[in-house]
Structure 1
Amino acid sequence: MRRGGYGCQTGCQTGCQAMSSVKPCVQQAQKNDCAKEDRIFGMPIAMAYVPWQKWCDLYDAEKGFAKGTIFQELDKPFKGMGGCCR
């Protein structure tokens, strides 16, 4: 399975341009040989462990709306890009 060159170095720097201007880069990526075979074809994309959410320590509706969650245990500080301390 081919992924169309995504993740390969194609040398095309498009940034956030309109889709019509990205087309030459996509065509170049499809010609790129670095993605001819997909070594992970047929494997699951990901497996996650998600614990049950406990309905305790809830914010009231107004505070929960302002915080973005009603669960106090999910109210974590935003640490910036990547989630690491800087």
Structure 2
Amino acid sequence: MPGREALAVYPNPATGFSLNASFTLAAGQAVLIPLTNAVGQEVLRQPAQLQAGANTFQVPLPGIGSGLYLLTVRGANLPAITRRVLVQQ
């Protein structure tokens, strides 16, 4: 649907050094991609400049322990979109 942003995270569960994410934007913009653990602590913060349309990016996982996390994409003109991610190291 036009104007709707979509976020896919894979592989899930994540087992390696990085996690892949695909995100579709209606309009290009700078975004912030935080990874938050189950107690609400931000364990990673990654800025990105995404273009209108389909975008694919990697989220590095070195130093991230096993557990359940929330990956969020948020921008100035974008409601926060969050997906659950299981990391198994």
Do the two structures share a fold, i.e. TM-score over 0.5? no
The structure in which a higher percent of residues are helix is 1
Of the two structures, which has the highest relative contact order with CA contacts closer than 8 Å and spacing of 6 or more? 2
| TM-score class, shorter | under 0.3
Report the TM-score, using the length of structure 2 for normalisation: 0.20
